[in-house]
């Protein structure tokens, strides 16, 4: 993932890239950014969000954006499952857990991949090349889905 061409493009990218994409996922995170918006609803917050958005659009390499789309998809699926569990009950609890676990696990693995392939984080991972991190990602996903399928009943 994140081959050299993109890496060169984003060589000057600022350290922090994804924000809005990450604001969606994980039910824990989600309510928090919206709450201050509701309470204050004044210009600074709008500005902040617009800033974030522009920053993201400008500074993120194409491949990372692709990953972010996948993340949004995972977050949506996870949220859907969670909603179903709350509304319709958790009867096949095995199935719910493995489905939800699969999305959450895939989500964090993808974020990990995203972190490791982001150029700005290079210094933190001296021993992990983008190719290596993609291989890791594949192996971990395989393990994850093996467990999920085994658990789904």
Q: How many residues bind other proteins (CB under 8 A)?
A: 52
SS3 153: coil
In the region spanning residues 63 to 122, those forming contacts with other proteins, defined by CB under 8 A, are 93, 97-98, 101, 104-105, 108-109, 111-113, 115-116, 121
- Nearest-angstrom CA–CA distance, 1 and 116: 10
In which region does residue 103 sit, left (phi positive, over 0), alpha (psi from -120 to 50) or beta (all else)? Answer: alpha
Q: Which of 2, 22, 71, 75 binds other proteins (CB under 8 A)?
A: 22
Give the separation between CA 21 and CA 59, rounded to whole angstroms. 14
Out of 60, 81, 117, 133, name the contact with other proteins by CB under 8 A: 133
Structure tokens at 118: 């982001």
CB–CB of 33/52 below 8 Å?
Answer: no
Residues forming contacts to other proteins in the complex (CB under 8 A) are 14-19, 22-23, 26, 28-29, 31-33, 35-36, 44, 48, 51-52, 55, 93, 97-98, 101, 104-105, 108-109, 111-113, 115-116, 121, 124-125, 127-128, 132-133, 135-137, 139-140, 143-144, 147-148, 150-151
């Amino acid at each position: 993932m994140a081959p050299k061409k993109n890496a060169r493009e984003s060589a000057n990218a600022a350290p922090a890239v994804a924000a809005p994409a990450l604001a969606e996922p994980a039910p824990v995170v989600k309510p928090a950014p919206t709450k201050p918006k509701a309470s204050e609803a004044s210009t600074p917050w709008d500005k902040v969000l617009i800033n974030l958005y522009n920053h993201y659009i400008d500074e993120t390499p194409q491949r990372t954006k692709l990953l972010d789309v996948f993340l949004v998809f995972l977050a949506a699926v996870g949220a859907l499952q969670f909603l179903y569990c709350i509304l319709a009950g958790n009867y096949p609890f095995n199935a719910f857990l493995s489905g939800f676990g699969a999305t959450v696990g895939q989500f964090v693995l993808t974020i990990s991949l995203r972190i490791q392939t982001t150029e700005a984080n290079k210094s933190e991972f001296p021993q992990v090349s983008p190719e290596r991190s993609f291989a890791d990602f594949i192996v971990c996903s395989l393990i994850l889905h093996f467990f999920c399928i085994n658990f789904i009943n």
